Amino acid sequence: MDATQIIIRPVVSEKSYALMAAGKYTFRVNDRAHKHQIADAVEDLFDVKVDAVRTSKVRAKPKRRGLHYGRSRSWKKAIVQLAPGERIEFFEGAAVEG
């Protein structure tokens, strides 16, 4: 898999912005990617050194619109811990939207 296929997009939330102060960045990643692939992809895309990667599956939530019931999609989330002194400039200018 290519690095752009592994990292789908950054997760923008209050919790992810609070983690940035500790050097942790949150990404939505390909469901089939494992920790080593995610670490290599982040290092390739952003030219940083990765210390650790934590992954979790976000389960689908039940949704309803009128009389129709369904579920949102499940997806995989990765929290990437960077080496001390490293940061990703891509996130710094973004604002949290409500």
Residue ranges covered by each domain of the chain: 3-85
Q: In a 3-state reduction of DSSP, which class is residue 18?
A: helix
Question: What letter does residue 13 receive in the DSSP assignment?
Answer: S
- pLDDT tens digits, one per residue of 40-95: 999 999 999 999 999 999 999 999 999 999 999 999 999 999 999 998 887 665 55
- Nearest CA to 29 out of 64, 67, 65, 78 is that of 78
CB atoms within 10 A of CB 42: 24
pLDDT at 93: 59
d(CA 47, CA 63): 39
Fold of 3-85: Alpha-Beta Plaits (3.30.70)
Residue 57 bridge partners (DSSP): 76
